[in-house]
Amino acid sequence: MHAAAQAPSANLKQADTDYREGLAALNRGDLPDAEAKFTAVTRLTPTIAQGHSALGAVLLREGRREEGTRELERAVQLKPGDTEAQTSLALVYAQNGQSAKALPLFTSMETAAKTQGRALTTSVLLEYAKALAAAGRLSAALTRMNEAVTREPQNAEMRDELGSLYAQQRDWTHAEREFTDAIRLKDHLAIAHLHLGYVYQAEQNPRAVDEWTRAADLTPTDATLVLMAGKAIAEAGQDDRAAPVLERAVALAPKSTDAKYQYALVLQRVNRVQEAIELLRQVVDAEPKNADALINLGMALSQAHEAKDALPFLQQAIALRPDDVTAHQDLAAAYIQINQIGDAVEQLKAALKSSPDAPQLHYDLGVAYKLEDDAADAIPELEAAEKLNPSGYEPPYALGLLYMQVARYAEAAQQLGISLKLHPENGEGWATLGSVYNKLDRLPDAAAALHEAIRQRPAEADSHLILATVLIKQNQPVEAAQERKVAADLMRAHMNLQRAEVATNSGKSLLASGKLDDAVAQFREALTFDPTYTEAHEELAKALDREGKTAEAASERALAKLHSSLPQ
């Protein structure tokens, strides 16, 4: 009995010694020794909270979060009133995103603090507010965060946190004030610039992009923030400014498929399609079930006129998402590019099953039928597209062309007129309408339409010829003769341009083969056909340089610049 009674006392004494030595080790930064001492304490006195709390704190500092959390949970279980353990455990839960576990501890700590006439520390208030916000209790979160900011009004980071809470409530005025104050206190705080940009975006303030750009510039090595800024700039429609930011994000995080994907989308839109294709291939290789990446890769390949290569990617996207309208639509476009019109029709029909009221799909299907010379099926689809989108000019234009092909001239004139009223800058459309009016013997209307066509496309001979026919019908032979002469001059000029192009291309081939004299002769012949043909002057200058005739070459380059600067 006596020996048994003495054992706990000895354990307690040793535990006390180990605990003090653990604190000393902790104070000098010797975490392994501190861990060993506090572990000994928990073995000697497993039911005493203090050892578990101290060990948990050390394990957390060593980055062993799971083990540290278990020790703190044990400490709180053994001694619910252990404020230090409660605080540490609440902070761990909050930082792990476990707000449901953190909030009861924060609430208990707050209640105890009020009872004892003291306040929670600012750092605890900050995490408490974040946990409340994560749980959707924004008003309560704002109360705690405002209290924290009141205590430390010069703390830029806390003002940024407060601004973020206001932004979550869509209180843009207060959010803007807090982010602006954060930047005033610490202008190099990149995250505040990023957040202020989002507020400006919500307020439709054009300065949003400037703030995102500033955020990215302030954190040249923070891949996550740079990516967020670049993505925001791109979504604001400023791809030219987004491209260098997203390029930097990819350089900072070369394994990030998200960075590559966002950069690829921008490159695709700014017509740097080959670069986009390379990045999208990398994304698809890393994420073969990423339907969005597959669709965009397929579309990019079609943009690059590599539709045959696009097919398997778009087909895979449809296998993953059978009802994806965009995938069917893009696959149809790829089929049209390689002249598989029947397959394109099937894809567009499949898309319409998912989205029967989409005017663009009806229009695309109508055009596909038109490519098959199937006017009977094309017309109802184009009529549906026009009905669903009365402000669109393309469906009535396509309908007008179809009606003209099947000799329904009155309906053709009506539809072409509708299209041109919606989109008057269509010289070819005015020429077509003039031709239709001519067939309907609506001669004044035909003349007016053809004059507009000529105004928009003065170098096209056909409009002059049709106008000459109309003028003859109107008994204006002199004016008709003038139009025929203009048409003849234009056709002659066009023929001479074609001859100049042929001679220049022949000269380029000869120059590449080292036949210098023959190349010079071809370039000079091209210029006899069209003295204003810029490319012939440029290529002749190259050839003359190789002959050592630098002065004459310079003269040719000057002529090339002169002609290229003149209106065509």
pLDDT digits (tens, 9 = 90+) for 316-371: 999 999 999 999 999 999 999 999 999 999 999 999 999 999 999 999 999 999 99
Helical ranges in 372-442 per DSSP H:
375-388, 394-405, 409-422, 427-439
**Angle at the Cα of 118 from the Cα atoms of 113 and 124, rounded to 5 degrees:** 65
Rounded Cα distance between 272 and 262, Å, is 14
Residues 266-296 have pLDDT tens digits of 999 999 999 999 999 999 999 999 999 999 9
Q: What is the CATH number of the domain that holds 517?
A: 1.25.40.10
Is 495 part of a structural domain of the chain? Answer: no
**What does the pLDDT read at residue 2?**
39
Reduced to 3 states, what is the DSSP secondary structure of residue 459?
coil
Output the pLDDT for position 8: 58
Question: Is residue 565's pLDDT more than 70?
Answer: no
pLDDT of 428 reads: 94
Cα angle value 37/39/44 (rounded, 5°) = 95
Secondary element (H or E) of residue 423: none
Give 162-210 pLDDT, tens digit per residue: 999 999 999 999 999 999 999 999 999 999 999 999 999 999 999 999 9
- For residue 553, tell me if it sits in a domain: yes
> Which pLDDT score, from 0 to 100, does residue 400 have?
96
In a domain, 534, yes or no: yes
Contact 409, 439 (CB under 8 A): yes
pLDDT of residue 168: 93
| Residue bearing tokens 């000269």 | 507
Structurally, how many domains does the chain consist of? 1
SS3 for 334-382 is: HHHHCCCHHHHHHHHHHHHHHCCCCHHHHHHHHHHHHHCCCHHHHHHHH
In a domain, 514, yes or no: yes
CA distances from 221 to 160, 226, 227, 240, 263 (A): 21, 8, 11, 21, 17
Question: What's the pLDDT at 1?
Answer: 32
Average pLDDT over residues 73-88: 79
Average confidence (pLDDT) over 142-156:
94
Residue 303 lies in a domain: no
Higher pLDDT, 379 or 557: 379
Q: Is residue 546 part of a domain?
A: yes
Identify whether 526 is part of a domain: yes
Q: At which residue do the structure tokens 């010694």 appear?
A: 17
Could you give the CA distance from residue 447 to residue 118 in angstroms, rounded to a whole number? Answer: 91
How does residue 5 score in pLDDT terms, banded at 50, 70 and 90?
A: very low
- The boundaries of the domain holding residue 552 are 502-565
Average pLDDT over residues 150-166: 95
